[in-house]
Structure 1
Amino acid sequence: MTNPLPQRHPCPPGACDCGRERLADGPERRILLLTREEEKRLVERLENLRDLEDLQRLQSRLYEQLGIRVHIAPGFNEVRTMRGIVIELEAQLGLCRKTRQAIPAAIRRGLERNPQVAFRLLDAHDLLRDA
């Protein structure tokens, strides 16, 4: 007998706008596999980035396993702090409001802890080519 995969508990009514009830069966339901415990592990992993390749690998794994697309790029104005780096998640049914806030915040903390990753990110967008 196989146990079903654990799924995230539904948010209280009115507390979230994730649209969990509108999810149809199929690949889009994989977002429900991100339980609170797994979300904590993900946030911890994002906060402890080693290098830019690690960040890119995590971005691709988020998309492959959960369907979450994360876009990270320098903002339109000057980048003086980590707040100048734009971190966006594409809209997705089933993605909890708290998770939509926690992932970018964890990436930002990871960039603050390891500024070399932020410098490499800026360099990848040709912002530091003349420095």
Structure 2
Amino acid sequence: MNATIPIRKECPPGACDCGREALLRDPQGDVRILKLTKDEEKRLVARLEALSSLDDLKAMEQRMHAQLGIVLHIAPSPNEVRTVRGIAIKLQEQPGLCRKTRQAIPAAIRRSLESRPEIAYAILDAHDLFGGL
């Protein structure tokens, strides 16, 4: 018996530019991202909002990459960092990654950084912004 893995339903026409259909047609396409259903996305966002440390964030980055193929880039912006908005959180462009998901994941991480500023400080320290102070 082959158990089918649920995949994300298509977005309404004109609402998204994820390229889901083209990804499904491509035999070499990485379809792991389509395993992120709306329910799973809610669980992922809740988990990202509950981060406890920089190590926890790094582990989630690795897990998202291994399971879904999502590549996350987190670094201080080149301008001055006064708030968590000064930390750049970007997802690498990927076919099949829904527009709403591209917005929800960084927003969840920002909420986590706002509730636990020590994670934001650890990110800044990891990029040597404190310069050994």
* TM bin (shorter chain): over 0.9
Deviations, residues 81-110 of structure 1 (Å, cap 9, x unaligned):
010000010000000000000000000001
Alpha-carbon offset, residue 129 of structure 1: 2.5
The equivalent of 1:50 in structure 2 is 52
Alpha-carbon offset, residue 27 of structure 1: 5.8
| TM-score, structure 1 normalization | 0.96
Distance 1:125 1:11 in 2: 37
Distance 2:128 2:32 in 1: 35
Deviations, residues 25-73 of structure 1 (Å, cap 9, x unaligned):
4561111000001000000010011100000010011111000000000
* 1:60 corresponds to 2:62: yes
Alpha-carbon offset, residue 11 of structure 1: 0.4
Distance 1:4 1:81 in 2: 44
* 1:11 corresponds to 2:7: no
- Aligned to 1:73, the other structure's residue is in SS state strand
- Aligned to 2:74, the other structure's residue is in SS state strand
Over aligned residue pairs, what C-alpha RMSD do you find?
1.1
Distance 1:27 1:122 in 2: 35
The equivalent of 1:78 in structure 2 is 80
The equivalent of 2:98 in structure 1 is 96
Alpha-carbon offset, residue 3 of structure 1: 2.6
- Aligned to 1:87, the other structure's residue is in SS state strand
| TM-score, structure 2 normalization | 0.94
- Say how many residue pairs are matched: 131
- Aligned to 2:30, the other structure's residue is in SS state helix
The equivalent of 1:127 in structure 2 is 129
- Aligned to 1:111, the other structure's residue is in SS state helix
Give the unaligned 5+ runs of structure 2: none
Give the unaligned 5+ runs of structure 1: none
The equivalent of 1:21 in structure 2 is 21
